[in-house]
Amino acid sequence: KTKRKHDRFNGMPEEEVALRLLPDHLAENLDILIVGINPGLFAAYVGHHYAGPGNHFWKCLYLSGLIPEPMNAYDDFKLIEHGIGFTNICARTTRGSADLKKPEIQEGGRILKEKLQKYRPKIAAFNGKGIYEIFVGHKKFSIGKQPEPLEGTDTVVYVMPSSSARCAQLPRAVDKVPFYEALKKLRDHIKAGKLQELDDADVTF
């Protein structure tokens, strides 16, 4: 007896879902630009960021106080009002980031730098250690605030663990909230013009 496959996409073949793109939500001078690696199938299918079942992103955003009320992936475009935008290093939708090719990741990194130089967010927050690793091309960095701003900009770089429920070291949303609380602290200090007063130990892990 063949096991019936759960239909996640209402009859749409996975190949067709993979052709869908996920729009960026960008504006100049955002407080935080959330940087992902590329759209997953479910996010591309519904057309909204971090929509996958079990992704902790939206819960952590609210529990940390980064947004004033609970929101979900279908509210992603509204986050511009709260100074938060979204982009990905690669635009191509795949089942997992392992399906991306190295040249397209490198090209995506170049395009991301251009976006950051154009839109000048106060903070670029990389949602996943592996994403930042790909972007900088090495592993010699801590989680949290990076010591140097992004080259050619004043944008502060912040790295946090992946919000995916598959993040084995931090399986629950509550495990990830401290990284979002530190991001909020960083944002609040930058907005108040008090970045120099912030102890980096409070925003690095």
> What are the residues facing 87 on neighbouring strands?
35
Is residue 13 domain-resident? no
For residue 116, the domain's CATH number is 3.40.470.10
How high is the mean pLDDT of the chain? Answer: 92
The total of structural domains in the chain comes to 1
Q: Which domain holds residue 32?
A: 28-192
Is residue 11 domain-resident? no
Is residue 116 domain-resident? yes
Tens of pLDDT, residues 183-197: 999 999 999 999 999
DSSP state of 75: G
Tens of pLDDT, residues 1-50: 444 445 678 888 888 998 899 999 999 999 999 999 999 999 999 999 99
Q: pLDDT at residue 144 above 80? A: yes
Residue among 98, 100, 95 at smallest CA distance from 9: 95
Is residue 9 domain-resident? no
Is residue 87 domain-resident? yes
Q: What are phi and psi of 67, to 5 degrees?
A: -125, 150
Is residue 171 domain-resident? yes
Active centre residues (catalytic): 38, 49
Is residue 22 domain-resident? no
Is residue 178 domain-resident? yes
Tens of pLDDT, residues 69-128: 999 999 999 999 999 999 999 999 998 888 999 899 889 999 999 999 999 999 999 999
pTM, full prediction? 0.92
Q: CA 91 to CA 82: how far, in whole Å?
A: 24
